[in-house]
Amino acid sequence: MRYRALVTLAVVLACVLALELACALGWVARTVIIPPSEMVGSLRDILWSGEFNRAIALTLTNVMISVVISISAGFVLGVAIHASDFLRRAVEPYLASYYAVPTFIFYPVFIVLFGVNSAAIIAIAVLLSIVAMITATMNGLDRIPTVLLRTARIMRLSPVKTALLIQLPAAAPYFFTGARLSVAYSFIGVIASEFILSGDGLGYAIAYAYNNFENRQMYGLMLLIVIAVTLVNMTLDRLDRRLQSRLRR
């Protein structure tokens, strides 16, 4: 496992080196891609100068708010839908097709509802990420082994105790998978909305740099997002795998 991760890292590094070489030899025009070493330099300048600190803070805050809302609301909705047979039959066909709908189109509706501020962006991000949490919650509750629930009944646990001592621990790994997806989708939702629709945040900063031919700055910002999102996703993925392997015991 460890060895394989090293090979993966080596492949990534080899690709970066190849790009660096292609840039140095002039196979790739500077107007298209700048060498990775310059991207790193630009990223360093961006972080040192503090020029984008406000945009970074804004984007991270929006992502965090979206994550908190979609995980908590998604969990509650998932439990509610799971509890009612009617609701479940009503919602399930829509859940299966949900991600086919391009949510971004409805941004102006949220502008009307919330005004021109972060709330509209957070709403889009929540729309994108909440369904992952709802589906994971329902799936987790479905997969609780019946024998555990029977044990709870034999031990005459109250519903609250059953929920806290039996159902929650048994379904926790599935809930975590949902939470992890919510984080990834929140990043996508916030940054994509900023990029296309808003006038603020990291996504907008990249679009702005592109429109002004500021390639160096643009690639620095891209690198920042790619590294940050990759680190977050990898950490959560590792935790997720650990929890899942506990399930298989």
Partner 1 sequence: MSSKVLASKTMASKTLPSRTLPGEALRNIVPPIVLALVLILCWQGLHLATASGAISSPAATLARLVVLMGSGRFWLDVAETGTAFAWALVLSIVLGIGLGVALALLRPVGEVMEPILVTFYSLPKVTLYPLVLLIFGLGMPAKIAFGIMHGLVPITLLTRNAITQLKPVYLRTAKVMRLSAFEAVRSVVLPAIIPELVAGIRIGFSLSLLGVLIGEMFASKRGLGFTAVNAMGLGDLDTIMAIGVFLALFAVLANGGLLSLERAIRHRSAGR
Q: Which residues bind partner 1 (CB under 8 A)?
A: 4-5, 7-8, 11-12, 31-33, 86-102, 104-109, 112-113, 131-132, 135-136, 139, 177-178, 181, 184, 187-188, 191-192, 195-197, 203, 206-207, 209-210, 215, 218, 221-222, 225-226, 229-230, 233-234, 237, 240-241, 244
> Based on CB atoms, which residue is closest to partner 1, 51 or 92?
92
Query: Residue 82 belongs to what H/E stretch?
Result: helix 53-83
> Based on CB atoms, which residue is closest to partner 1, 24 or 90?
90
Closest approach of partner 1 to the CB of residue 96, in Å: 4
> Based on CB atoms, which residue is closest to partner 1, 93 or 159?
93
Distances (CA, A) of 41 to 141, 180, 220, 221: 48, 31, 8, 11
| DSSP 3-state of 50 | coil
Alpha-carbon torsion angle 114, 198, 69, 224, nearest 10: -160
Closest approach of partner 1 to the CB of residue 119, in Å: 15
End-to-end distance of the chain based on CA atoms, in angstroms? 19
> Based on CB atoms, which residue is closest to partner 1, 85 or 159?
85
- Pick left, alpha or beta for residue 156 (phi over 0 → left; psi -120 to 50 → alpha; otherwise beta): left
Q: Are 126 and 69 in contact (CB under 8 A)?
A: yes
> Based on CB atoms, which residue is closest to partner 1, 4 or 156?
4
Closest approach of partner 1 to the CB of residue 60, in Å: 13
Q: Are 81 and 196 in contact (CB under 8 A)?
A: no
Closest approach of partner 1 to the CB of residue 23, in Å: 13
